[in-house]
Amino acid sequence: MNKDFVEVANDSGTNNGSFDVVCEQNRGNERSTILTVSGGGVNKTINITQKASNLGSIEIAGGVYSSNGTLVTIGSFSMSTDIRVSMTSPQMGRFIFPTPIQEIDRFNGNPASFLRIRVSEEIPSHYKGEKVVAFLESANGNKIYTPKKELTVDVYSELGKKVFDLNIADGITLGNTEIIDINSALNNRPNIAILLTNNKKIQFINFIWKAVYYES
């Protein structure tokens, strides 16, 4: 028997017995249904609720190149993936991606931000306004890259999603080479750690970005 998003095996029988309720992975909003079990003149209802998928998207900035390799402009890029958020303490936050990601599409994002993450889970607002003092670490904690521009964290809600922005001073422009430098440092590195003031730390686990786009 199928009902809404669930499938029930062995949905009839005699005397004592059991049945299994199976549902596919939820790729949308939270959903609910009710099953009614009847027998011997007794009816029982079972409420089933499946939480929304934690699908989020991430926007970054990178170079847009002409077919001959000339840098034309700085563009915003985005990709969608299943992002989990783990805030293990007020000082440590993690955005965890299931596998390294490299495919990115053009996106008309916020020109003031070069890293934007939208997730369904809560992102503590106490990261808002933090200044980044060291941007990139290797897995063993050694610094790979320290930004030359001031980077500021912003946290807010947008269309039901929690949004984490890392804004770059002077915005995303062709003359602001910070973005290009960061992309170069990040390529093919599986771990990113952003160190913030007040001993706060945000990590991006299993995340690789390669923001390069060639216009025809």
One domain, residues 62 and 46 = no
The angle formed by the CA atoms of residues 108, 98 and 4, to the nearest 5 degrees, is 85
Question: Which residue in 104, 98, 105 sits closest to 207, CA to CA?
Answer: 98
One domain, residues 39 and 106 = no
Number of structural domains, the chain? 2
One domain, residues 16 and 67 = no
One domain, residues 107 and 198 = yes
Alpha-helical runs (H) found in the chain: 178-186
Amino acid at residue number 175: G
pLDDT given for residue 169 in this prediction: 93
pLDDT given for residue 129 in this prediction: 92
d(CA 118, CA 110): 13
One domain, residues 45 and 100 = no
One domain, residues 197 and 122 = yes
One domain, residues 177 and 92 = yes
Percent composition of the chain: helix, strand, coil (DSSP 3-state, to 5): 5, 50, 45
- Domain limits at 33? 2-50
Tens of pLDDT, residue by residue over 112-141, are 899 999 988 888 888 899 999 888 887 777
Which residues pair with residue 78 across a beta bridge?
59, 105
Between 153 and 28, the higher pLDDT residue: 153
Q: How far apart are the first and last CA of the chain?
A: 52
**What average pLDDT score do residues 80-97 get?**
85
Find which of 108-112, 150-154, 174-178 is predicted with most confidence, using mean pLDDT. Answer: 150-154
One domain, residues 44 and 59 = no
State the pTM of this model: 0.71
One domain, residues 27 and 116 = no
d(CA 203, CA 15): 55
Question: Which residue in 181, 190, 215, 171 sits closest to 70, CA to CA?
Answer: 215
One domain, residues 144 and 109 = yes
